[in-house]
Amino acid sequence: MVPSVPTLISGPTVVEAAGNKPKLIREYIGRVNSETAHVSIAHMQSPSGWVEPGQKPEFDEYTLVLRGSVRLTSDNGQTLDVNQGQAVLVPRGEWVQYSTPGDEGADYLSVCLPAFAPELVHRDA
């Protein structure tokens, strides 16, 4: 539910990340930090060489790369590198795998509609 008055979010909550290396997720708005179910906004910091399992989420995910590069791999094996200053939209129901293969890793913002939830992401085993 959206509050009827402006609400200050004083800081994020760090949430657990999936993948082969530690990745920092700071959720500012979402189910964990603000009890918001319709949208989530998180700042991600992924190290070089990070890869997470593929997923087929029940939410649209918008990604804005602030530093470095994020690689998306689709179910047909095609890759898309999203670089600093670029953004990408992955529609709900599409299989995708995220990684940061570049030497510098990546800093990026993720916006999910509806908000991210473990039961909505449907990660590969």
Q: Count of alpha carbons within 13 Å of 68, Cβ hemisphere only?
A: 21
Per-residue tens of pLDDT for the chain, all 125 residues: 666 889 999 999 999 999 999 999 999 999 999 999 999 999 999 999 999 999 999 999 999 999 999 999 999 999 999 999 999 999 999 999 999 999 999 999 999 999 999 999 999 98
Domain 17-121 CATH (choose: 2.60.120.10, 3.40.50.300, 3.40.1030.10, 3.40.50.150): 2.60.120.10
The reported pLDDT for the residue numbered 4 is 81
The rounded distance, in Å, linking the Cα atoms of 98 and 72 is 5
The rounded distance, in Å, linking the Cα atoms of 20 and 115 is 24
Q: What are phi and psi of 121, to 5 degrees?
A: -85, -30
The rounded distance, in Å, linking the Cα atoms of 125 and 123 is 6
Q: What are phi and psi of 118, to 5 degrees?
A: -55, -35
The reported pLDDT for the residue numbered 1 is 61
